[in-house]
Amino acid sequence: MTKLILFVGTPGAGKSTVLNSIVEKGKTIQIVNMGDLMLRIAKEREGVTDREQLGTLSDEQIKADRELAFQQIIDRGQDSLIDTHLTIKYGRRYVPGVTLEELRKIRIKAIVYIDATAKEIWRRRHSDPSKQGRRNINDTEAEIDEQKSVNLAILSSCAIYLSIPIYIIYNSDGKQAEAVAELEKIVKEHFTE
């Protein structure tokens, strides 16, 4: 049976950086970027041209596109880490990046949450030129902490409802190698027989 692990975190915590480091080390784990997959689907179905436009779709369109994306992941039949968000923040509005029902349906085996302090996240967002046009660039440290709190509440609910383990990895400044090593242990635990 295909094993799927959700890999989530607050934007700027370093999810992509940690995942890219795993790939660079030659690990052969399949990584699926849910945002990229959702964008491809939304381009075909709704004519969306970039990720920021995904937020202009109705909740029903987003949910339908997300369900199609999850079905495509299942159809691949490969053990995978799914890089996504627990919440997507639009101003004061939070929308789910996944639902409990979707995670139950795809039989997620574990959730890994990458974290950093609000101060580190704020600094990373402002020092990375690729993040300058993103909707969350003006969030204060307090707003980042708020999103982290919402994410952790959802994470706890997922673990209880789905009866799966959750892992929290701290990707503190200067400690990326330790975060990568922790993720490698989790991948080995779940993806090797």
Domain 4-187: CATH architecture, name and number where available:
3-Layer(aba) Sandwich (3.40)
Q: What is the pLDDT of residue 181?
A: 93
Q: What pLDDT sits at residue 71?
A: 92
The series of mean pLDDT values per 10 residues for the chain, 193 residues long, is 89 89 75 91 88 81 90 90 89 86 92 96 84 75 94 93 95 93 90 70
Specify the amino acid at residue 42: A
Nearest to residue 81, comparing CAs of 127, 135, 23? 23
The answer for residues whose C-beta is within 8 angstroms of residue 41's C-beta and 6 or more apart is: 65, 68, 69
Distances 89 to 2, 13, 66, 125, 146 between C-alpha atoms, Å: 31, 15, 16, 15, 11
Q: What pLDDT shows up at residue 136?
A: 74
pTM of the model: 0.89
- CA 65 vs CA 52, 114, 169, 192: distances in Å: 15, 25, 29, 31
